[in-house]
Amino acid sequence: MAYCAAGGIVLFSGIKGASISDTVKAVLKGDLTVTPTQTINTSAPAGSTGSSGASGGVANVTPPGSVSPANIPVSSSAGSVSPQAVLAAIGAPATAANIASVSNWFAHEGTTAQNNPMATTQNAAGATQFNSAGVKNYPSAAEGITATAQTLENGLYPAIVMALRSGQGLSAGNSQVQQELLTWSGGGYSSV
């Protein structure tokens, strides 16, 4: 997973013509593909057979259902952890359904744990105890994102990971996802 993320950062740096350090900073901020002044079209114009290019080689047509990371606000209690960063860490696309699911998950947890909006208890270097349930504060967004991805991929949440990787989000009708959300939340909720 780490090799894929590193490769993606190097590739993105090359495409954008940016340094790797600037790209890492952009990833942590969730500001990757679109500047706030650009318009994103969610469907191709009538009669169009493909996406048309914008300046700098960036397509101005986004696949239906996908959302740009620049359009999603990041909660201040989440630090720099965005739904897109969590999705990227588990290899899931930033579709509208996925972003809505993870954003709602953040809200369900409602935690103010530092860099840990999904309230994971995963140990990490520099992590401190947030509460008696074992939820951690992480020293950086990168640590929080990594810990969250490790928790999602620990084998207890395969239906959640599969649903997010499919791009379809966490639909309320999937009983296995509901059961895994109950496990994650300690019985607190079964949908997001």
Per the structure, the complete domain to which residue 156 belongs is given by 68-192
pLDDT greater than 90 at residue 127: yes
**Burial group, residue 177, by CB count within 10 angstroms (0-12, 13-18, 19+):** buried
Within this chain, do residues 19 and 74 fall inside the same structural domain, yes or no?
no
Q: What is the pLDDT of residue 41?
A: 34
Task: Say if 164 falls within a structural domain.
Answer: yes
Residues 77 and 130 placed together within one structural domain of the fold: yes
Mean pLDDT score across all residues of the chain: 74
Task: State the DSSP H helix or E strand holding residue 4, giving kind and residue range, or none if neither.
Answer: helix 2-16
Residues 28 and 72 in one domain: no
CA-based radius of gyration for the chain: 17
3-state DSSP assignment of residue 97: helix
Domain count for the chain: 2
Instruction: Provide DSSP, 103-160.
Output: HHHHHHH----TT-TT------TT-EE-STT--EE-SSHHHHHHHHHHHHTSSS-HHH
Residue 58 within any structural domain of the chain: no
3 with 78, same domain: the answer is no
Residues 1 and 82 in one domain: no
Of the listed ranges 17-31, 55-69, 143-157, the one predicted with least confidence: 55-69
Model confidence at 47: pLDDT above 60: no
Distance CA 162, CA 1 (A): 15
Distances, alpha carbon 33 to alpha carbons 6, 106, 127, 129, in Å: 17, 23, 31, 35
- Nearest residue to 90 via CA among 12, 21, 190, 5: 5
> Both 91 and 19 in a single domain?
no
According to the model, what pLDDT value does residue 144 have?
96
**84-101 burial, b for 16+ CB within 10 Å, e for fewer?**
bbbbbbbebbbbebbbbb
Q: pLDDT category, 87, cuts 50, 70, 90? A: very high
Q: Could you tell me if 159 and 110 lie in one domain?
A: yes
Q: What is the pLDDT of residue 43?
A: 35
Residue 181, C-beta contacts closer than 8 angstroms, at least 6 positions apart? 160, 170, 189, 190, 191, 192
Provide the pLDDT for residue 6. Answer: 52
Same domain, yes or no, for 183 and 123? yes
Q: Which of 91, 149, 92, 88 is nearest to 116 (CA)?
A: 149
pLDDT class for 80, splitting at 50, 70, 90? Answer: confident
Q: Are 101 and 192 in contact (CB under 8 A)?
A: yes
Q: Is 60 part of any domain?
A: no
> Do 8 and 88 fall into the same domain?
no
- Asked if pLDDT for residue 9 goes beyond 70, the answer is no
- With a cut of 70, say whether residue 163 has pLDDT above it: yes
Q: What integer is the mean pLDDT of 159-171?
A: 95
- The answer as to whether 131 is a domain residue is yes
Residue 97 within a domain = yes
